[in-house]
Amino acid sequence: MLEDDERFNAGTGSNLRLDGKSIQMDASCMVSSGAFGAVAAIERVKNPVDVARRVLATPHVLLVGDGATAFARRCGFADFDPTTEAARERLRALVSVTGPLGEWSRAELERAWNFDTPLREALGGDTVGSVAWDGEGFAGALSSGGTTTVLRGRVGDVPLPGCGLFAGKCGAVATTGDGEYIAESLLAYRAYEELERDRSPEQVVDWALGQLEDSVDVGIIVVNRIGFAGGARHGMAWYGQGAEALA
């Protein structure tokens, strides 16, 4: 449902890259048995998280790029262009800004640019996630359309085990925000370790938000057998709880 809502940066509504043409998406699923399935840099599917769930049922952990898209077609997922006018407008707004482009200076981006469309021609919502407990096991899922100011083929924290997502016998954790920083810190797995130390979800959220520099955007949701909590920095939208949760 979140991937189908254009207000979110996942599935339909994913961000266009700076070339004005490319959309590459990441998604992952994990359950408390330790099984993990993910896709990275997948293109032209409506619901990347459904493809990740299919990977969960294979011997593999992660499928990327053209291989992930081909796997989706083999599983019966139709070709779908997630480009929206809202994504085009976000790109127009971004490239109209002078100065740095996200983490990149213009000069740095020109040196590293690897799209077919030249940079000068190209320049002419948040990730979604969920965590759940059904009374027996825990599960989590993430889906992201990535950010505009990245190179083609960039992979963020979402499809990397223990970075954006982790589930085990003590609970489940999902994060969102600045993907490179989250990945480098193995934030989801380290937050899960705090659950293993009998910290409450609220305590884990507070702990996790203090692990990265103040300039880094990050949000997190956590569930265990006794509760659910979420939090975020810098005004990021952070969580909602279903009416049936923890019933």
HEC string for the chain: CCCCCCCCCCCCCCCCCCCCCCCCEEEEEEECCCCEEEEEEECCCCCHHHHHHHHHCCCCCEEEHHHHHHHHHHCCCCCCCCCCHHHHHHHHHHHCCCCCECCECHHHHHHHCCCCCCHHHHCCCCCEEEEEECCCCEEEEEEECCCCCCCCCCCCCCCCECCCEEEECCEEEEEEECHHHHHHHCHHHHHHHHHHCCCCHHHHHHHHHCCCCCCCCEEEEEECCCCEEEEECCCCCCCCCCCCCCC
pLDDT for 168 beyond 90: yes
Stretch 62-67: mean pLDDT: 98
Which pLDDT does position 121 carry in this prediction?
Answer: 54
> Per the residue annotation, which of 12, 58, 117, 127 is the catalytic one?
127
127 is catalytic: yes
Q: State the pTM of this model.
A: 0.86
pLDDT for 124 beyond 50: no
pLDDT for 33 beyond 60: yes
Higher pLDDT, 14 or 234: 14
Which pLDDT does position 86 carry in this prediction?
Answer: 85
